[in-house]
A and B are shown apart, each in its own frame.
Chain A
Amino acid sequence: MPDGFGTDHQRIDGRAKVTGGARYASDVVVGNVAHAWLVTSAIARGRITGFEDAEARAVPGVLEVFTHRNMQGAVAETEFFAKGGYVGSTIRPLESDQVWHAGQIVALVVADTLEAAREAAQRLRVRYAEEAPAAGFDAAGVEVVAASDAGFEDAGVGDADSAFAAAAVKVEASYSTPTQHHNPIELFTTTASWAGGKLTLHEGSQFVHGLKHGIAAQLRIDPADVHVVSPFIGGAFGARGSITQRTALVAEAARRLGRPVKLVPTRAQGFTIATYRAETRQQVKLAASRDGRLQALVHEGWEVTSRPDAYKVGGTATTSRIYACPNVRTKVHMVHADRNTPGFMRSPPELPYMFALESAMDELAYALDMDPVQLRRINDTQREPIKGLPYSSRNLVGCLDAGARAFGWERRSPAPRSMRDGEWQVGWGVATSIYPAHIGTATARVTLLPDGRARVQTAAHDVGTGAYTAIGLAAAEGLGLALERIVVELGDSDLPPAPVAGGSNTTASVCNVVIKACEEIRARRAQGQQGAIEVYAENVPEGLPPDSIGKLYQGRNALGGGLEGGKQAMAAFGAIFLEVRVHDRTREVRVPRVLGAFAAGRIVSPRQARSQLTGGLIWGIGAALHEQTEIDPRSARYMNDNMAEYLVPVNADIRQVEVLLLDEQDTQANPLGIKGIGELGNVGTNAALANAVFHATGTRPRDLPVRIEHLMA
């Protein structure tokens, strides 16, 4: 019985995961390994003036203490990820005495055992000349740069300010979203070993070819001499897409010591040696005619980034294109502060910016005395308003209708504070979700064996998304086989390259190229070819340049689709319905149920798709209610850099979660009509929650996370 697209199946990598047999990076046993421990900066801005390392070096088993004194020049400067390079931060630790941010790596201690490495790291004293840091928005000394002055385009059309001034009904409000950290449960581990001038890296990665080429550039070696092994990744969420600077340091330490080196950084260090979701401040103005049709949308944002790197969140590219609105003005500013460089975190632009837009839409609905579902329905469009591009497919209205029906929305009493269950105020909220549908240039090798088994090889990544299973189902579909007969190999830089596991592109990118290879195999079989048939295929999606294959082989991504380029706008849509209960006295906010209805093209692997969207909805709840990295404004240090005080939802926080998947055939977005779903579930969920809190309490949360103290008035 052949399997294929839409087959409900357990994960083909699942058995390894439930038995403990799946080997994540730090699980790989490497002989004669030495253990590394990081020392990170206690100050956010200034210079290192000296080290007292005698005590550290005296710890039995210590092999070396690496600092800028002996590492300067070891790691080459490379280009920032957002500029087409590899690294998520251009700040090179151990390159000089300069401290750019709190928690910057200032030393790497290597010892025979991890106990000795940790002790020595803790005994190392670092002396600093400290300068007052700028921690964020309100600090003296930040540098504000308009994104348009840094090469980014602000979306706009018509004359939004005049239209706003003239409109009948309007709302205007400021919103903010906090710093958040990915906190995958797997730490940011790296094991590096050298043999015959060749480097092997065991490191969880969302882009093994990027890591291979980036590390080669950093260490000035031939990329052919780098092998990255990353078959299992213990959560990524964007944190493992660009290269962090710790990898080159571990590799260099191993090279100098002539011995494999394993680094397992602490949870706290993960907050500062990798990236994070930058905090934002936003201002939204919406104006409508009395019938609810939008007349003007103004969306401005301010985002924190590091001193040297222009990382832009920039969700206005999305928020300007969702609703029919003739007059749109957007503007984004980057605020450079003494912080580590932020980066991509699950739905990087959409999560914070859709919070503001979808909260403002709720405010507008109240100003119009209109049902918020109806307001979104009225402003639906099949063309994005900025360039007038048609959506390749779009069924937001279907999501709103199906979701409202399943949720029982018609039983909602619209007035704030009008629903209650005993001591708990009850509120229902709704918001739109959108995520751009991306597809990238990809390659794969598919081999059909004479006994009817097949193998798929591609350097794509399963970060928990179910990519192994989805790609296996594509081969099953393409070859007419049962999934059990297919072996899928991913996450290894010796395999044909595939794009970064980012922007929810993997399923679309890889399934399309796998199907292409399978078609070739079938053609050859039809021509009578005997024996094993091995086909290597490349796929350059429509609109991407032919040389993107060559670039991919250099570890550089080419992603197309989405909302901004090409002849069409491509996106998946959803509608989130959410119920909160707020205790009338002590103000705890709990979420008894959430429902997401999604139209996201062809669903390749339904069981894993539901898990992705379920997890996304829960991420959205966490983003709205729990997650916030707290910063001491005096020191620019992260204060809750652990899993006891950086709160993510626990099992008891999550009750009923329902996912509805609408049928959607998109014949335009890509040949298979696949849209990504990995980031769709958590977009808009934060706004749905805040809107529900307003409905329950009459208090409008405009600053996330929504906490007890904000609801005490």
Chain B
Amino acid sequence: MRPFSYDRAAGAPGDAGTTWLAGGTTLLDLMKLDVMRPERLADINGLGLAEVRLDAQGLHLGALARMAEVAGNAEVQRHFPVVAQSLALAASQQLRNMASLGGNVLQRTRCPYFRDPSHAACNKRNPGSGCGAMDGANRLQAVLGTSDACIAAYPGDFAQALVALDAEVTLRGAAGERRMRFADLHVQPGTTPERETTLRPGELITGFTVPAGPWAARSLYLKVRDRESYAFALASAAVALDLDGKVVREARIALGGVATVPWRAAEAEADLRGKVLDEASATRAAEAAFAAARTHGENAFKPELGRRTLVRALLLAKRMEA
């Protein structure tokens, strides 16, 4: 870990040299591994930004609300089950107590070539050095949104709920406050995998707004993993359904564990619209969701597991009382 200065941020915008410290669960970990080398840490834990509020517009979440607080909130559980579940099924209770929502969506990949600087090849850590995972240990890496430069999977869960429900993210920077679609926050690796988000230098996530919608109550997060708890997703699905009897008025679907970014499955949603939701239509939608999947050896099982996960999630959501 490199030396750094430590300040308690007082609410002013940062600059390119500022690294915000919230829960620290990703940052401290990667600093210890010498992957992240910030020179100036600005501790934002004194800034408040911990709102958890529901109103007619939807769910308002401060960036410094902790995962555990939101996961355990009875109103969130009732009205936005997919949000609460995506948080509750992530990490451990200690990490959920520490990690902020803003930090969580910026959680960085678990790709082993990224996390250890003694591996020479990692385009994300060291642009132009190659990708160790492409022909290496990639069981947990992505099959959607990959490029020839990077297949590192986005490891989080909560972001899938946000992207499925068309959430907005609020940002504060030198030019003041701005809002954008949460789906526009993460960027696929393309030829520049070192660039993971559209955040501007020094910009701080201050909160999220999840709009109310007829689908929000009939929503869930299904996470398939090697262990019963405390493991990253091999495949996950955030789904929200607005049903007219058996017919899908609107489906909202995002996929985790399989993609380089929180992955909205727009093709699957389109496929389901106006259809009777059953095994056959869910299977067709799942096939559409993974039509563009590219596998790399160890992760060859992921499209099939991802399809099955989505089908299971859709049929579970259909059976929900909402």
Q: Could you tell me which A residues sit within 8 Å of B by CB distance? A: 42, 115, 118-119, 122, 268, 585-588, 590, 625-626, 630-632, 634-635, 637, 639-640, 644-645, 647, 649-653, 707-709, 712
On whether the beta carbons of B137 and A652 are closer than 8 Å, the reply is no
Q: Which of B55-63, B161-169, B191-199, B225-233 contacts A (4 or more CB under 8 A)?
A: B225-233
> CB-CB < 8 A to A650: which residues of B?
227-230
On whether the beta carbons of B312 and A652 are closer than 8 Å, the reply is no
Q: Which residue of A lies closest to B304 (CB)?
A: A712
- 27 interchain pairs, CB-CB under 8 A: A118-B1, A119-B2, A585-B308, A585-B312, A586-B224, A586-B235, A587-B308, A590-B228, A626-B226, A626-B227, A632-B136, A632-B137, A639-B136, A640-B137, A644-B110, A644-B232, A645-B110, A645-B112, A647-B226, A650-B227, A652-B227, A652-B228, A652-B229, A708-B226, A708-B301, A712-B304, A712-B308
Q: Which of B22-37 contact A (CB under 8 A)?
A: 32, 34
The answer to the question of B90 belonging to the interface, with a C-beta cut-off of 8 Å to chain A, is: no
- In the complex the two chains form, what is the Cα distance from A590 to B225 in whole Å? 11
Q: Which residue of B lies closest to A713 (CB)?
A: B304
Q: How would residues 134 to 157 of chain B score, 1 for a CB under 8 Å from any chain A CB and 0 otherwise?
A: 011101100000000000000000
On whether the beta carbons of B224 and A649 are closer than 8 Å, the reply is no
> CB-CB < 8 A to A709: which residues of B?
300-301, 305
A240 to chain B, nearest CB (A): 25
The answer to the question of B5 belonging to the interface, with a C-beta cut-off of 8 Å to chain A, is: no
- In the complex the two chains form, what is the Cα distance from A625 to B227 in whole Å? 9
Q: Which of the four size classes fits the interface of chain B?
A: 35 or more
> CB-CB < 8 A to B224: which residues of A?
586, 588, 708
On whether the beta carbons of A586 and B229 are closer than 8 Å, the reply is no
- In the complex the two chains form, what is the Cα distance from A585 to B308 in whole Å? 6
20 further A-B pairs in the complex, CB-CB below 8 A; given A652-B230, A708-B224, A708-B226: A42-B119, A118-B1, A122-B34, A585-B311, A587-B305, A626-B226, A634-B136, A635-B136, A644-B110, A647-B226, A647-B227, A650-B228, A650-B229, A653-B227, A708-B234, A708-B301, A708-B305, A709-B301, A709-B305, A712-B301
The answer to the question of B309 belonging to the interface, with a C-beta cut-off of 8 Å to chain A, is: yes
Q: How would residues 187 to 210 of chain B score, 1 for a CB under 8 Å from any chain A CB and 0 otherwise?
A: 000000000000000000000000
> CB-CB < 8 A to A119: which residues of B?
1-3
B116 to chain A, nearest CB (A): 8
B182 to chain A, nearest CB (A): 26
On whether the beta carbons of A630 and B137 are closer than 8 Å, the reply is yes
On whether the beta carbons of A586 and B308 are closer than 8 Å, the reply is yes
> CB-CB < 8 A to B118: which residues of A?
42
On whether the beta carbons of A647 and B231 are closer than 8 Å, the reply is yes
> CB-CB < 8 A to B139: which residues of A?
630
> CB-CB < 8 A to A632: which residues of B?
132, 136-137
- In the complex the two chains form, what is the Cα distance from A586 to B301 in whole Å? 11
On whether the beta carbons of A640 and B112 are closer than 8 Å, the reply is yes
- In the complex the two chains form, what is the Cα distance from A365 to B33 in whole Å? 51
> CB-CB < 8 A to B137: which residues of A?
630-632, 639-640
Q: Which of B300-321 contact A (CB under 8 A)?
A: 300-301, 304-305, 308-309, 311-312
List the 9 closest pairs (A to B, CB-CB), nearest first.
A709-B301, A652-B229, A639-B137, A42-B118, A652-B228, A122-B34, A639-B112, A653-B228, A586-B224
> CB-CB < 8 A to B140: which residues of A?
645
On whether the beta carbons of A653 and B229 are closer than 8 Å, the reply is yes
> CB-CB < 8 A to A590: which residues of B?
228
B141 to chain A, nearest CB (A): 11
> CB-CB < 8 A to A626: which residues of B?
226-227
Q: Which residue of B lies closest to A631 (CB)?
A: B137
Q: Which residue of B lies closest to A266 (CB)?
A: B32
A518 to chain B, nearest CB (A): 47
A407 to chain B, nearest CB (A): 22
Q: Could you tell me which B residues sit within 8 Å of A by CB distance? A: 1-3, 32, 34, 110, 112, 116-120, 132, 135-137, 139-140, 224-232, 234-235, 300-301, 304-305, 308-309, 311-312
> CB-CB < 8 A to A585: which residues of B?
308, 311-312
Q: Which residue of A lies closest to B113 (CB)?
A: A639
- In the complex the two chains form, what is the Cα distance from A221 to B224 in whole Å? 56
> CB-CB < 8 A to A630: which residues of B?
137, 139
- In the complex the two chains form, what is the Cα distance from A634 to B312 in whole Å? 37
A182 to chain B, nearest CB (A): 19
B191 to chain A, nearest CB (A): 24
- In the complex the two chains form, what is the Cα distance from A122 to B37 in whole Å? 11
> CB-CB < 8 A to B305: which residues of A?
586-587, 708-709, 712
Q: Which residue of B lies closest to A423 (CB)?
A: B312
> CB-CB < 8 A to B1: which residues of A?
115, 118-119, 122
- In the complex the two chains form, what is the Cα distance from A236 to B78 in whole Å? 46
A48 to chain B, nearest CB (A): 14
- In the complex the two chains form, what is the Cα distance from A707 to B300 in whole Å? 13
> CB-CB < 8 A to A651: which residues of B?
229
> CB-CB < 8 A to A653: which residues of B?
227-229
B266 to chain A, nearest CB (A): 23
- In the complex the two chains form, what is the Cα distance from A42 to B311 in whole Å? 43
Q: Which residue of B lies closest to A655 (CB)?
A: B228
- In the complex the two chains form, what is the Cα distance from A110 to B309 in whole Å? 50
Q: Which residue of A lies closest to B111 (CB)?
A: A639
- In the complex the two chains form, what is the Cα distance from A644 to B225 in whole Å? 12
Q: Which residue of A lies closest to B34 (CB)?
A: A122
- In the complex the two chains form, what is the Cα distance from A640 to B226 in whole Å? 14
Q: Which residue of A lies closest to B231 (CB)?
A: A647
On whether the beta carbons of A586 and B228 are closer than 8 Å, the reply is no
- In the complex the two chains form, what is the Cα distance from A588 to B234 in whole Å? 11
> CB-CB < 8 A to A635: which residues of B?
136
B13 to chain A, nearest CB (A): 30
- In the complex the two chains form, what is the Cα distance from A590 to B226 in whole Å? 9
Contact of A634 among B112, B135, B229, B308 (CB under 8 A): B135
> CB-CB < 8 A to A586: which residues of B?
224, 235, 305, 308-309, 312
> CB-CB < 8 A to A631: which residues of B?
137
- In the complex the two chains form, what is the Cα distance from A118 to B132 in whole Å? 25
B314 to chain A, nearest CB (A): 11
Contact of B226 among A122, A637, A652, A707 (CB under 8 A): A707
- In the complex the two chains form, what is the Cα distance from A650 to B232 in whole Å? 13
- In the complex the two chains form, what is the Cα distance from A588 to B226 in whole Å? 7
- In the complex the two chains form, what is the Cα distance from A202 to B34 in whole Å? 29
- In the complex the two chains form, what is the Cα distance from A585 to B304 in whole Å? 10
- In the complex the two chains form, what is the Cα distance from A118 to B37 in whole Å? 13
> CB-CB < 8 A to B34: which residues of A?
122
> CB-CB < 8 A to A708: which residues of B?
224, 226, 234, 301, 305
- In the complex the two chains form, what is the Cα distance from A396 to B31 in whole Å? 54
> CB-CB < 8 A to A707: which residues of B?
226
> CB-CB < 8 A to A118: which residues of B?
1, 32
> CB-CB < 8 A to A122: which residues of B?
1-2, 34, 117
A634 to chain B, nearest CB (A): 7
A143 to chain B, nearest CB (A): 25
> CB-CB < 8 A to B3: which residues of A?
119
B123 to chain A, nearest CB (A): 17
> CB-CB < 8 A to A634: which residues of B?
135-136
> CB-CB < 8 A to B136: which residues of A?
632, 634-635, 639
- In the complex the two chains form, what is the Cα distance from A623 to B304 in whole Å? 26
- In the complex the two chains form, what is the Cα distance from A634 to B305 in whole Å? 27
- In the complex the two chains form, what is the Cα distance from A645 to B29 in whole Å? 14
Q: Which residue of A lies closest to B224 (CB)?
A: A586
> CB-CB < 8 A to B110: which residues of A?
644-645
> CB-CB < 8 A to B309: which residues of A?
586
- In the complex the two chains form, what is the Cα distance from A268 to B35 in whole Å? 15
A413 to chain B, nearest CB (A): 26
> CB-CB < 8 A to B225: which residues of A?
588
- In the complex the two chains form, what is the Cα distance from A446 to B232 in whole Å? 52
Q: Which residue of A lies closest to B302 (CB)?
A: A709
> CB-CB < 8 A to B112: which residues of A?
639-640, 645
- In the complex the two chains form, what is the Cα distance from A635 to B235 in whole Å? 28
- In the complex the two chains form, what is the Cα distance from A626 to B225 in whole Å? 11
> CB-CB < 8 A to A637: which residues of B?
119
